[in-house]
Amino acid sequence: MRELKEKHCTPCKKETTPLNAEEIKQFKEKIDNDWKVVENKKIRRDFSVKDFNEAMAFAQRIALLADEEDHHPDLGIHYGLVEVELSTHNIGGLSPNDFILAAKIDAI
């Protein structure tokens, strides 16, 4: 099986079922351990960077990647910190897309 970072996000339909706890656990094992699962509905990770300019630059790289994948995270930009939260909003939980994008963000 290809690594997650080599895959691409695919659109989810509203009737798509979110991943269950066991599926989330399996996908979680394939991304950096710093990602935290929140209520089995989203994954979250904080990235420490040098300063505000580096935080903005990192967030911009994430934004470009997100546009390429057509799957967009919630970002919090602070001095020395970028918060990334992934969820598939239209299905109200996690999908493989969230883990694919997480793996690609880890590779930045």
CATH code for the domain of 77? 3.30.1360.20
Assigned domain for 47 exists: yes
With a cut of 50, say whether residue 12 has pLDDT above it.
yes
Assigned domain for 54 exists: yes
With a cut of 50, say whether residue 90 has pLDDT above it.
yes
Assigned domain for 14 exists: no
- Name the residue range of residue 74's domain: 36-108
pTM: 0.94
Assigned domain for 96 exists: yes
| Summary mean pLDDT of the chain | 96
Assigned domain for 73 exists: yes
Assigned domain for 72 exists: yes
pLDDT of residue 40: 97
**How is residue 56 written in tokens?**
């903005």
Q: pLDDT exceeding 70 applies to what percent of the chain?
A: 98
With a cut of 50, say whether residue 1 has pLDDT above it.
no
The total number of structural domains that make up the chain = 1
Residue in 5, 51, 60 with CA at minimum distance from that of residue 31: 5
DSSP-derived letter for residue 15 is T
Strand order through the sheet with 74-78 = 36-38, 42-48, 81-86, 74-78
Digit-coded pLDDT (tens) for 63-84? 999 999 999 999 999 999 999 9
Assigned domain for 98 exists: yes
Assigned domain for 56 exists: yes
Q: How far is it, in rounded angstroms, from Cα 42 to Cα 108?
A: 20
